Chain A
């Protein structure tokens, strides 16, 4: 009885091991960790990439850039990282987790103030957020979410960060901010223009000041996993291709001409 049980377990374990080996051997896999604001566009690009490269499996993981950075630092499988802000890539670079010369600025975007489509509050500028009728404003958590970091810069620039603090609902990624505004559970939110564009139930009421918008860059880098990076590099090159640029453009992103940054 005992030995039968043991043999069952060992056969089970053997099957699991074989299954794992089978998976990894069948095709080349590229794990892409992308900022939450890139969810739709990267999904479409990946579909195209896989159609053109049937032997490559692209697995995408979307989350706030801060979360992704933590995951990568803790050894999560990631070959390519597209962050919504240079801060996370800087951090990984300082820990030698990025393959040399693979860091490039990929996209630029804009930061905007949005309100629910049916909002009756007169919010026309960032300064209007301090009004008494505005009860809740959502931004990304400034310490981990790039859109939140820019939101903090904007609010500081208008000198209203301290006044707004009790109203601020901090989200763990930018799409959560969008969802809070879409569902009218907050009165306004600060997101990227591209996020605002994918939703029909929010409207853009103000643009961030130019000096802040100029800083909104999405860098990409190949992660140093100790494995062969050929597939990851090919994928990164594809992101800068005309085909990918057309898709990025459709979602409102502008591709920056390839040039290694820093």
Chain B
């Protein structure tokens, strides 16, 4: 019983933390760029970036399977290096990252757009480099929104099921995350195992929502450094 609960918990946590770290940095980078991008393709690129959030997870999963599968373009590329990701732990990270990215991106972009350009310009006139302006001015001002995005991405990643099952499969002890294990446990009639895992998910999600409420309460105006 311990093993059948701890193993999916460990897989889920390691997957979700890795995915959240990846989405955190890529989300900030892309959001920062898009917040100031005024080009013609703005709405189009924006749509593409948000797509994984609105598509059914099975569609995302199938898309990823076609990309990363043995005959897919990325799958073929990986084969050249003698490796595959389908039905492996990295596959759980890939799906969690892809489905949680839009939440990180949307929140971070919104936060960056709220930052007054004149404050950034003030930093620039004082001789700060673009890099320093971003780290010392833009990011601290946008922080509550960025942090909220990270928490929402985390919560979305922990709940990922459909795409994970398609790309990572169900390998107990390797790719069986909590949601996938719950699905199989219910099918097998292992209600106790399923219910314990459900409680664990509830606790994790509750903690992340509390964190979200905390970041939201620290509103933009409060930071006046």
A in complex with B: yes
Chain A residues with a Cβ under 8 A of chain B: 64, 66-67, 70, 135-136, 138, 141, 143-144, 165-166, 168-172, 180, 183-186
Given contacts A185-B69, A185-B86, contact A66 B169 (CB under 8 A): no
- Are the C-beta atoms of B174 and A166 separated by less than 8 Å? yes
Which residues of B in the span 72-92 have a Cβ within 8 Å of any Cβ on A? 84, 86-87
Give Cα A141 to B69, complex, Å. 22
Q: Give CA–CA (A135, B88) in the complex, Å.
A: 10
- CB-CB under 8 A from A171, the residues of chain B are 169-170
Among the listed B87, B172, B173, B184, which residue makes an inter-chain contact with A144, where contact means beta carbons less than 8 Å apart?
B184
State which residues 127-153 of B face A: CB under 8 Å.
Answer: none
Contact at A144–B187, with CB atoms within 8 Å? yes
Return chain B residues, CB-CB under 8 Å to A144: 184, 187-189
In the complex the two chains form, what is the Cα distance from A234 to B190 in whole Å? 35
The 6 A-B residue pairs with the shortest CB-CB distance, nearest first, are A143-B188, A184-B70, A169-B169, A144-B187, A170-B170, A185-B86
Question: Residue on A with the closest CB to B86?
Answer: A185
**Contact call A170/B184, Cβ cutoff below 8 A:** yes
Question: How many whole Å from A135's CB to the nearest CB in chain B?
Answer: 7
Known: A67-B187, A141-B184, A170-B184. A186 touches B87 (CB 8 A): yes
| Distance, CA A170 to CA B183, complexed state (A) | 12
Known A144-B184, A185-B87; judge A169-B171 contact (CB<8 A): yes
- On whether the beta carbons of A183 and B172 are closer than 8 Å, the reply is no
Question: Number of B interface residues, CB 8 Å?
Answer: 20
Describe B's contact surface by its main secondary structure.
loop
Roughly how many angstroms separate A165 CA and B171 CA in the complex, as a whole number? Answer: 9
Query: A171 vs B168: C-alpha distance in the bound complex, in angstroms?
Result: 11
Q: B209 CB to closest chain A CB, in angstroms? A: 30
User: Chain A contacts of B190 at CB under 8 A?
Assistant: 143
Give the docked Cα–Cα distance between A158 and B73 (Å). Answer: 38
B223 CB within 8 Å of chain A: no
Bound CA–CA A141/B183 (angstroms):
12
Residues from chain B with Cβ under 8 Å of A141 in the complex = 170, 184, 187-188
Task: Pull 23 A–B residue pairs with CB atoms less than 8 Å apart, ordered by A.
Answer: A66-B187, A66-B188, A66-B189, A70-B186, A70-B189, A135-B84, A136-B87, A141-B188, A144-B188, A144-B189, A166-B171, A166-B173, A166-B174, A168-B171, A170-B170, A170-B172, A170-B184, A172-B170, A180-B169, A183-B70, A183-B71, A184-B70, A185-B87
* Minimum distance in angstroms from B77 CB to a CB of chain A: 16
A82 to B221 alpha-carbon distance, docked (Å): 64
Q: Which residues of A contact B87 (CB under 8 A)?
A: 136, 169, 180, 185-186
